[in-house]
Structures are given as C-alpha cells and as structure tokens.
Chains A and B, each alone.
Chain A
Amino acid sequence: MLILNCPYCGRDVDETDLHAGGEAHLKRFGPGSSDDEFEHYLFMRENPKGVHFERWRHVYGCGKWFLAARNTATLQVYGTYSAQTTEPPQHILDAIKEAQA
C-alpha cells in the first residue's frame, strides 16, 4: 500500500485514488528530432531497482499531476513535489541522501 502526499491539495492520498504516470523528468523529443531520440523518449525507461522519480496524478481528488521520489525496492517515499519541475529539487535529494546514509 502506497500513500503519497499530494503537493497541490496537501492530502495524504491512497494509491487507489491515484493514477501512475511513469518515469518523471523525461525530455520530450517531437517533430524534427532524430529517430533515435524519438525512440528513446517514447520507449526507453530507467526502471531502476532503488530510487525512482515518478509522475502521479491525484485522479480521484484534485486532479493534479505531481512528482514523487520513492524507492522501488523498499517502497520508502522520499517526498513529493510540483510537476512544474524539470529536475528533483534539493530537499528531495537531501531526503534521499539522508535515507541512504
């Protein structure tokens, strides 16, 4: 059972009220990009055993997309943060570092 705090409405939300959106921080390659770039953007994922940055949507609640950092092996959640972010913010990186120390 996974519970994530939605940074938009502030509620602790059960996994069944959320929709998983896959890996976060992907850079989009669209028209004009090479076949390799487009393939990578569309299909290639990190799928790590360990720290993972993900997109989630609070679909049954406020409806907003947000990002989460969690561990795919231990299910530990390091934190959630705004979807208007191109890379993990410092406080999330600090939380991961602290958990691994």
Chain B
Amino acid sequence: MSGFGTLAKVLALSFIRDKTAVFFTILFPLMFLVLFGVLFTDHGTSKAHVVQVGEVTVLDQLPQTAKTDLKGSLSVTKESGPLQPQLRKVRDGDYDAVVSEKDNQLAVYYSEADQVRSATVRGVLESVVQSANIAASGNVPRYGLNTHRVEDKSIQPIQYQTPGLLGWAISMSAVFGASLTLVEWRRRKVLRRLQLAPVSLAAVITARVGVSIAIALVQGVIFVGIALLPAFGLQLTGDWWLAIPLIICATLAFFAIGLLAGSFAKSAEGASGISNLIVLPMAFLSGAFFPLDSAPAWLRSLSEVFPLKHLVDSMRNVFVRSADLATILPDAALLLAFAAVAGAIAVKLFRWDDV
C-alpha cells in the first residue's frame, strides 16, 4: 500500500517531537502509578490504636504468643489517671478506642466515626475476653481456627493497579492520537493535500493505526518495566505475554473511538474535549482506578459497553489469576468487534475537508 510507510514515519516523528503528547502518554500515567503505590501499599495505617487506662487483667496477663498476634491488629498504649481526657482523644480521632476494667468487666469506648476500625477493635477485644474466659474455666479449647489466603502470597495491589492504569494510559493515547491527527490534518489542509497525492484513504488510516499500536506497546513495556522494579513489586507469572495481543485489540477499538470523535470535532480543542468526555468516564466506569464491585448493578452492566472494561478485566485475569488464552479470548473478540463496528461508522463519516 503506497504511502503507508511514509505517513507512518511522519506520524512517529511528529509524535516524538510533541512534548505534550509524550508527557501525557508516558509520564502522566507513571505519576499515577507512583501515587497509587503510595496510597494503597501503606499497611501500617490499617492498625487500630487503643488506649488502656489503668490495669486491664485480660490484656496484661495475655500469653506471649497471643500478645504478638494481637500486635498485628492493635497497638495498645498504656495510660494511668482519669478516663475523661482519654475519651476526648477518641472523640477527636487521635485514638480508635479506650479500654478500662472494673470488677472483671471490660469497658470499651469507641467512636463510630471510623466504623471499620471500631468494629475491628470490638471484635479483637471480644475474642480476647472469650479466650480469657475459657482459660479461666480450665477447659482446653475444643475448636480451633486456621485462616488461609487463596491467592499466591505474592499478590499485591500492584497486580491489580498495573492493568488498570496501563489500560487507561493506552486508551487515552489511542483516542487522543486518532482524533487530534484527524482534526489537525484536516484543519491544516494536510488531508486535502493527501487527497491530491496518489495515496489511498486506507493508507492514511492504517499508518495512523500502526503508529498508535506501536505507541501502546511502548507504553506497555515502559509501564510494566517500571512496575517490575522492587519499589513497586509487580510479578509476571504464567502467560503474561497475553497482554500484548489484548493491548493490540484494545488499541484498535480506542482508535476507532478517536476517529469518530475526530469526525465530529472541528478544532483541536473540540477534539480534546470530546476525547476527554469519552476517556474519563470510561476509565472510572471500567474500574481502571478502583474496583467497581460496590457499584450498582446497572452501572456495572453499562460498563460492559466500554472497550476499556474488557481490556482491564482481561489483563487483570492475566496478571492476577494467570489466565490462559482460552479465558481471554471472549474479551479479545469483543474488543475486535467493537473496533470493526465503530471503525466502519468512522470511515463512513470520514471527510477530507471541513466542507
């Protein structure tokens, strides 16, 4: 196809020279990776802080092994003196609860401001009291409890975050790349000029598609490469390479969205506006930033129309659950079908010039 190579080279050159585009394509998503890493990997904050006022027998006489276990979920600060000043600290949010004891009765004062923490504190202290009761009765506990996590021990939030953020980054650069090229080339009369050269429309479009796919793959390599650093701790297991065909299928779908946006917009500002209007809601509704599990059912069904949802879901299947080819095939097929339909409409709407 004559013109494909020439135009692809032009597009690649003008992308590399466009500092804004490079920033939004590569650096901006990486900033989010760092931000999310800071937000979600600090486990220390999930511990509850409790003030013990005076003597509390069940806590003071806890066996050493139980004490170590307890430290995982509660940190206990001992205070003497009146109760009131300590209660104020709970009310102010400095501590999660106050514990004191009178005549073998444990009193727990908590605040409902943080319901999860207060429930943790009550649950933990209740089990402490129960074990103490059993021990006092002299009986040997008949039932025991052992907990096991089903996933591999290595699974960290980064395994979920990488597919989400990478998917969002790819959708952004593919949609914006297609719509801005189309609008700018039309506005600068470059399309008119190409219409006069022996170049087919197919060559123009495939050159842009080719460059978009190349950019998406470069994004993937850089993003995953950085996530693999010990600071982030991403692990590649199983058929991780399945992410590559998924990224290609999804880029085609995003590209078609960009072409549609570019067919309607008249200016670069208009194209950016329409692209943003599509990409941002799509990113939130596809669970790229945080999971949609608690969203209403209708919203979750709505999210199925977005190609990003299928890219993020299938890449998570690959990165978190070591999915194989058969598992991701339906998502890949959906992405391709989306690209075909949206792309066909976009080609129908294609104009070489504004009028």
* Real binding pair: no
By a beta-carbon cutoff of 8 Å, the part of chain B in contact with chain A is: none
By a beta-carbon cutoff of 8 Å, the part of chain A in contact with chain B is: none
